[in-house]
Amino acid sequence: MKSICLVSLLFAGAAAFQMPLSSRQPKTALKAGSAYVSTRTGKEERLTEYKGWLENAEMIFAIPAQGMTVKQVSQLRKAVPEDTKVRVAKNTILKRAIEGDSRWSVVGDSLFESNMWFFVGNDLKGTFDGYETFLKENKPLRETHNFKFGVLDGELLDTAGVEKISKLPGKLELYTKLAFALKQPSTRLAKTLKAAPTKLTRAIKLSFEEGKEGDEEAAAPAEEPAAE
């Protein structure tokens, strides 16, 4: 009898230490929040949270939500500026958050897959630089986690559009370009100054366009000064 009990204990102990292969795999962040979000209270809290982030955002853009571990998501959130929020947002709740808001409602028809959203605060350049650093440290994700789409100043951007915005200058570079613009003819300076001073992103886009014009002018033959 004792031998039978001993053998049973040995089998039980061996089974306890055998971990299924599936449980050894890294946890992935595929779901938009916990089961709490499915409750009415949870949905309302998320709705309020999303609206707050959208109100303070200069831009939003999305990448695929699948294929990233919980550890990588945590690493990504630490890589971007503090006022940029990174979340796998539920489409149904996000649609409610952007409803009636002319700045963001244009993206409504694109909310049909699981996306990881960046609610970008004041530091556009810092956010994109942070994401680039994250991709350098997680090279396999560069092929699978490109920009999907985004919204800036009420305009829906595709992958190429978001990539173009990611390459625009930061504040320091912008100020340098504006300083250079002060030396340009009054018509070009007027274009720059027409950008709303409280909307950094518009001024950035304008300076980017002006920079391209400047490069073309620099390549053209210089005119001889008029005779006095």
Kindly report, residue by residue over 1-45, the tens digit of the pLDDT. 545 444 454 444 444 444 444 444 455 554 555 566 678 888 999
What's the DSSP call for residue 80?
S
Q: Which neighbouring-strand residues pair with 61?
A: 118, 150
To the question of domain 35-159 being in CATH 3.30.930.10, the answer is no
pLDDT band per the 50, 70, 90 thresholds, residue 217: very low
* Domain boundaries for CATH 3.30.70.1730 within the chain: 35-159
Q: Of 178, 168, 180, whose CA–CA distance to 123 is shortest? A: 168
Kindly report, residue by residue over 111-143, the tens digit of the pLDDT. 989 999 999 999 999 999 999 999 999 999 999
- Other C-beta atoms closer than 10 Å to the C-beta of 151 total 23
Task: Give the three-state DSSP class for 163.
Answer: helix
DSSP string, 81-93: -TT-EEEE--HHH
Q: Which neighbouring-strand residues pair with 88?
A: 116
Which helix (H) or strand (E) is 63 found in, with range? strand 59-64
Kindly report, residue by residue over 60-115, the tens digit of the pLDDT. 999 999 999 999 999 999 999 999 999 999 999 999 999 999 999 999 999 989 99
- Is pLDDT of 169 > 80? yes
